Amino acid sequence: MTETFSFDRAAIGAARDRFFAPVGQRPVIMGIVNVTPDSFSDGGLFVSKEAALAQATKLAAEGADIVDVGAESTRPGHTPVPPEEEWARLAPLLATLVREAGVPVSIDTYKAVTARRALSVGVAVINDVWGLQRDPDMAHAVAEAGAGVVVMHNRAAADPEIDIVSDMLRFFERSLEIARRAGVSEAHIALDPGIGFGKNRQQNYAALRATPALLALGFPLLIGVSRKSIFKDLPEARVEGRLVGTLAANLLMAAEGAQIFRVHDVAEHKAAFEVLSILGAAKG
């Protein structure tokens, strides 16, 4: 039996616009809540509805502009999760989270059926780690609901021989054409270079340095480096200790013009961005 979905486009649109409205005015913070047993940083910590709601509420209180919920780890070497299992992790949580988080909610998924289920309970943004290219129905799901979308660059495997920036630009060209054909508004799209996805370490750094070239495409840029292994060689760089590297990278990317930052540590980023703003104003 085929599922049917209805979307409250007005409510989704209002929450989507609340997320995009500050873009270009100040750094926008996306707080991470993983309801997974195996995510690299916080796997298993928020698998219960109560723990996930508490974490989402905490992140919103600390200054997150949106809460991004993921139910399938996409770390290197992850085990893919079938749609029904992914939704079983999300279903007890999402409707309540949309009502109670106090900020818009996004869903980290590359599956159109999961996206439609999430959008039907009021999720406003789809964060697709395969940039609308893994599931051919994803762009249509986003367009039907009038949702926002984060289009992330990805590769099945790293290839050290390629020019990663050229590869990213070609990838985004394809993704944006898919979005256009499906009827997704360009005003509701953000791009993500996909740090840690299908890239070796040097390519990850090259992708970050390519921020000006990516911004030239004309879309907000989301940076997702939080606690990732590119910082693993820093002193005391256990997973929790990668905050210093994360903050340094995100502050530099903000200075380069990136606008959205997907992070585990919201309060620390809120404070760091406030200092950046104060110093910028003083310099001006």
Would you please indicate which residues are annotated as catalytic (active-site) residues? Answer: 228, 262
Q: At what angle do helices 164-182 and 138-145 cross, to 10 degrees?
A: 50
- Region of 160 please: left (phi>0), alpha (psi -120 to 50) or beta: alpha
Place of tokens 């940076």: 223
| Burial zone of 218 (CB within 10 Å; 0-12 exposed, 13-18 middle, 19+ buried) | exposed
Amino acid at 13: G
Angstrom distance (rounded) from CA 94 to CA 75: 22
- Residue 187 contacts residue 176 (beta carbons within 8 Å): no
Q: At what angle do helices 266-283 and 49-62 cross, to 10 degrees?
A: 10
Query: What are the helix (H) ranges across the chain?
Result: 9-20, 49-62, 83-90, 94-100, 112-119, 138-145, 164-182, 201-209, 211-215, 243-256, 266-283
Angstrom distance (rounded) from CA 23 to CA 27: 7
